[in-house]
Amino acid sequence: MSLSRHMALAALAAALLVITGTSADAQEKPRTGGILNWFDYGDPGRLDVHAESPLVVQQATAGVYSGLLQYDPDEPSKIIGDLAERWTASPDGKTYTFHLRKNVKWHDGQPFSSADVKASFDRVLNPEFKSPKCGAALKPMVASVEAVDPNTVEFKLKFAAAPFLPSVASAWCRVAAKHILAKYGDLNAPEAQIGTGPFKFKKYERGSVIEWEKNPNYFITGLPYLDGVKQFILVGGPTQLAAAKASKVMLWDAWPPMRKTQADELARARTDVDIYQAPINTVFFVYLNAKKPPFDNPDMRRAVNLAIDRQDLVSKALEGAGVPCAILDPKLVGDFALPLDEVAKAPGCRQPKDADIAEAKKLVEKHYPGGIDVEVAVRQVGNYVDRGQLVIAQLRKIGIRGTMKTHESAAGYAAFGKGDFTIIASQDRAMDINEPSGVFHIAYTTDSGSNYGQYSDPKVDEMAERALKETNRDKRKQAYWELQRYLLAKGDHASIAVGWVEGWFFKDKKLRNYKPGLTTYDNNTFMKVWIAQ
Amino acid sequence: MSRAVARFVVAQPLGAAGALVVLILIAVALLAPLLAPHGPKETGFAPYVAPSREFPMGTDQVGRDMLSRVIWGARLSLYVGVASVLFGITLGALWGAVTAYVGGGADIGSQRVVDCLMALPPIILALSLMAALGQSVNNVILALVILLIPTAARTVRSVALGIAATPFIEAAEAAGASRARIVFRHLVPNCLASYIVLVTTNISYAIVVEASLSFIGAGAPPDEPSWGGMLAAGIQALETAPWMVFFPGLAISLAVFGLNLLGDSIRDLTDPRLRGGLG
């Protein structure tokens, strides 16, 4: 880990310490009982955390399951065991052995064993199984998973890979019960939400609320402190803000973050909350469908890449809270990110935009002399509709006349997953791990989990794989710099990074021991959270 | 002409005020490209700028001039209102007149269809239609046409039934006039007064439905300058930028108020009972 990364994490940890009042928490005796109320930004519809990528799916099920590993609820930058008590790595870094906790029970009373771990990871690693988060991260690295005995599991890697442990600890790589997978075939139904986590899945009322209740047999004695967690499904900024202002929710640490104006409004309405600004390890992407006209044409993709004014979008849509243009955010991955002053000179990012707009216009005119009409899709979540309008306005300057089509959240995911779109004006993609490889395996390589545009460039795949396999830190950094330079210079990718998203969040001052994760949605098991009187 | 106007102003002062508002609305809609200082979709300004000399109605959440959007919104509202009412009321009126004259099974059957359509709450029906048709201004018009047809059919049918029983229709039948001639030469022209009242009173209704659909995100696409859409965006920043709600809200209120005053006035003038002071 680089010095700058250490410094970034230390600074973030210090900030979070102030926000969450850890020193005060440590002096107080945790109080048991109470229900934590917060919200999902949309209705997840499907609940299979292995198979889905919407953040609401992860949020809906986070406290129900355990992972082999987890990010420490007390110190979110640190990886600790969860179902694994301890683990060892072979000297060549290609074999990891996990020793599991004994006497762990599933919520239905069945005993947990290594067979469950194998079944879960075999499932996400199956080439036929679409696993856009856990699977997309692990498939390039993991060769096989074996249950050595009922309490030991061995992972064989294809090569020594730095992102392996962070990926296994990701909240998307939860362990599901083998007998439940056999019974239901997937994890979509509420009845299939049988985990080993601190909370049991209690209720899912479509479009209304998701509830968990305390697991009295949780394998860590004394936890959780809360009696339960309620997640209201609140769609749209005004509804979410109204609930926050009316003290109906105690926490806003999920996507979408509040914008500055919303945070100011909340600060005027409530004095019993701590409001803080933070990066959320999420990229705001514009996607082009590389399999359909007109964006199957590299010139047209290049035109859009040149025309999108990232700075304007970050300034207006994110109210300035974000890092425009960057493929990797230095605040999150330190010097693995290409220096921002170099990024700012890249085609499409450089300001003023006049030369890029003129070039983009020529490219469009070359193929569509009278301009072209396209449908611009967005999901009706967060402020995507506003972002979409800005993108449409920018594209109009180069002769691409967009008409907006809005989708309900789950319906949008379904359409985008099938390639049923021309342009997606806004889709935030959260990283699974706070590691440079994350973003490339989310959106840039051919098999990446959120490569909605179905873009494929063998050179990108080869460069990403080479960087992933590199064990020497400096060489790895150089490999990622080369990859970023290549993507910025070529400028015809179907996943266009507008910027890294930051925003404002809050937590009720009565909430104790809540530490926001370094990636959105890690640490939302609430296993150690409690509510003061 | 000027005398007629003066007589109208004296006889119907509220109607005259409504007519003035409607005339201004039409003028603003027609002259939008000349009156609006900026394009309605131009996003080149800072967001949430309060009303000032440069932006008399402020800017919205993505940096568009609200004055330009409100001006262009008049064009969109009027287009939706007039087009949907002309198509919807005309088709409904023809349906009502024809089935009233034909009578029998055709009349009974068609009225049951009207019953079914009228049994559905209008906004639910409009929402369902928009969900099926997809978001566009022309689809809003189509949804409104489907909403307006049954109202017009039921109203005009009741008028046409009365006219069909009058001696001049019997005389036309006795003279051997064809059914089509009787309907289009004698029946329909005599329903014209009802038709005009339906048109004038329903334009404001259509504008309100369009604004309502856009407000809930099911009407015109969000970047179109729809007053309802502007209201919806404004709600998101009610405390920060109240002008985003105030001006489109004012525009909707004024337009509907003016159209209602005018519609009421025309109804009064065309209804002999009200005209004679019997109403």
- DSSP, residue by residue, B118-144: HHS-HHHHHHHHHHHH-S-HHHHHHHH
Buried b or exposed e, range A416-435, using 16+ CB within 10 angstroms? beeeebbbbbbbbbbbbbbb
Q: What is the pTM of this model?
A: 0.80
pLDDT at A4: 43
pLDDT at A377: 96
Closest chain B residue to the Cα of A309, Cα to Cα? B44
Closest chain A residue to the Cα of B234, Cα to Cα? A238
CA distance A386 to chain B (A): 7
**Token pair 């400096």: residue:** A474
List Cα–Cα distances, B268 to A447, B90, B279, in angstroms: 70, 21, 9
B135 to A265: CB separation less than 8 angstroms, yes or no: no
Give the best residue of B235, B236, B238, B240 to mutate against chain A (max A CB count within 10 A): B236
Identify the bridge partners of residue A531 per DSSP, sorted by sequence position: A511
Instruction: Tell me the domain boundaries of chain A.
Output: 3-250+510-531, 279-502
Low-confidence ranges of chain A (pLDDT < 50): 1-10, 13-14, 16-22
Closest chain A residue to the Cα of B63, Cα to Cα? A316
Identify the bridge partners of residue A500 per DSSP, sorted by sequence position: A283, A323
Q: How would you class A489 by CB atoms within 10 Å of its CB: exposed for 0-12, middle for 13-18, buried for 19 or more? A: exposed
Average pLDDT, chain A: 92
User: What residues of chain B lie within 8 A of the CB of A390, using their CB?
Assistant: 43, 62
The residues, any chain, with a CB within 8 Å of residue A10's CB and separated by 6 or more, are none
Give the best residue of B59, B61, B216 to mutate against chain A (max A CB count within 10 A): B61
pLDDT at B272: 59
CB-defined contacts A:B, below 8 A: 61
Q: Which two tokens stand for residue A149?
A: 């005995």
Q: Say which of A237, A268, A389 has its CB closest to residue B222.
A: A389
Q: What whole-number distance in Å separates Cα of residue A304 and Cα of residue A326? A: 17
Output phi, psi for A94, to 5 deg. -105, -5
Identify the bridge partners of residue A258 per DSSP, sorted by sequence position: A504
User: Domain A3-250+510-531 falls in which CATH fold?
Assistant: D-Maltodextrin-Binding Protein; domain 2 (3.40.190)
Domain spanning A279-502: CATH 3.10.105.10: yes
**Token pair 């679409």: residue:** A130
Q: Which helix (H) or strand (E) holds A38?
A: strand A35-40
Q: Which CATH class is domain B17-31+57-272?
A: mainly alpha
Low-confidence ranges of chain B (pLDDT < 50): 276-279
Q: Which two tokens stand for residue A528?
A: 């150690």
Q: For residue A84, give the 3-state DSSP assignment.
A: strand
Q: What whole-number distance in Å separates Cα of residue B135 and Cα of residue B141? A: 11
